[in-house]
Amino acid sequence: MKIFRLIGIGVGSLCFLLMTGQMVSAQFFKGKTVSLVVGASNHGTYAAYARVLAQHMPKYIAGNPKIILKIKGGSGGRIAANYMHNAAPKDGSMFSIVLQTVPVNQFLSAKKSRFDVTEWNWIGNMSPLINFLGLWHKSPVQSLEEAKKTSVKIAATGKSSPTYIYPKLINNMFGTKFEIITGYKGVGGLNQAMEQGEVMGRGASWLSVITKAPHYITKSLIKPIIADGFVRDPSLPNTPTFIELAKNAEQKKIFELVAISSTFGRSFFYPAGVPADRIKIMRDAFDNTMKDKAFIAQMKKQKLPLNPMNHVELAGLIEKVKNSDPATLASARKVMGVKSKKK
């Protein structure tokens, strides 16, 4: 009986400590302003997702803080990722979303990376998103086969972005002749370049077309020729995935890494060092927000796909990439034009 009393006291003490931690964190968030760092353009879908989350999530956070956005785009999401790891406060007052390619890219290249995604505390993912490569209706090339014979210019933002990585990958894997022009500012810059005839195609998320240039679809101004993901997206039923076009097992493994990048979609995280009780509060708040009727209605109104993933699923993806065959990672670096990790 004495043993059971001791166990009961121990369990009770643990529960008391957990409850006390929750209460302290509730007091921490009360009256606070929490910053959501967006490692992408202010005009793209990353910011769009972040704004809707910032509007609805506070009511589920103990203490009901206000959430504001801080835009830190550039360098393929590395600016924001480096900032979150090295300079952001670790008290729970700042969390982030960066380009979906960042987690996988860390295992491909250490260039300019001063962070470690394996240490991130994932909060949740609002939805995996499909990236594509599409050709403008005035392009002399309208298919992968034609692109093997004729060179056309493709617009990209930077070398760490899917807008560059995908056409580079396609060139190296399928023998196409896309000439990739970097330096454009966000989706708006990519669209403007096509419309002005500077380039004949571009990549990025298919959602960026649906939300920012739906007339491209209704007027057949752009033709998607390839997309990422493990299966075809319902909104692109006639567009093959990289995995479908794999010619052998090695190519398939590389394309699965690409698909994992797309699965990270619009994911949010805390950096290492944030107190565990505050991480739990934010994870619970995120999960509850994903079921909120007003939140879901606003997502539908803004035509933002919603297919949530929890922090456990995201951590599992990181483990899968971390445990990838070194030979596969080496091959992926080569065909994506990524410099090897520093030794």
pLDDT in tens, 32-87: 999 999 999 898 899 999 999 999 999 999 999 999 999 998 887 889 999 999 99
**CA angle 186–191–194, rounded 5-degree value:** 130
Examine the pLDDT at 262 and tell me if it is beyond 80.
yes
Q: What is the pLDDT of residue 159?
A: 83
Using alpha carbons, list the distances in angstroms from residue 280 to 62, 63, 131, 204, 270: 11, 14, 31, 32, 11
Residues 6+ apart with CB under 8 A from 66: 32, 33, 34, 58
91 DSSP 8-state letter: S
Q: What's domain 132-261's architecture?
A: 3-Layer(aba) Sandwich (3.40)
The first and second tokens of residue 133, run together, are: 């490569």
Residues 6+ apart with CB under 8 A from 206: 129, 130, 131, 132, 224, 227, 233, 235, 236
Examine the pLDDT at 160 and tell me if it is beyond 90.
no
Do domains 2-129+265-325 and 132-261 share one topology? The answer is: yes
Examine the pLDDT at 105 and tell me if it is beyond 70.
yes
**CA angle 304–237–313, rounded 5-degree value:** 50
Asked if 266 and 45 count as a contact pair (C-beta separation under 8 A), the reply is: yes
Stated pTM of the model = 0.84
Domain boundaries, the chain: 2-129+265-325, 132-261
Q: What are phi and psi of 250, to 5 degrees?
A: -65, -45
Could you read off the pLDDT of 285-316 as tens digits, one per residue?
Answer: 999 999 999 999 999 999 999 999 999 999 99
CB-based burial, 228-239: b 16+ in 10 Å, e otherwise: bbeebbeebeeb
Task: Please tell me the class of the 2-129+265-325 domain.
Answer: alpha beta
Q: What is the pLDDT of residue 158?
A: 85
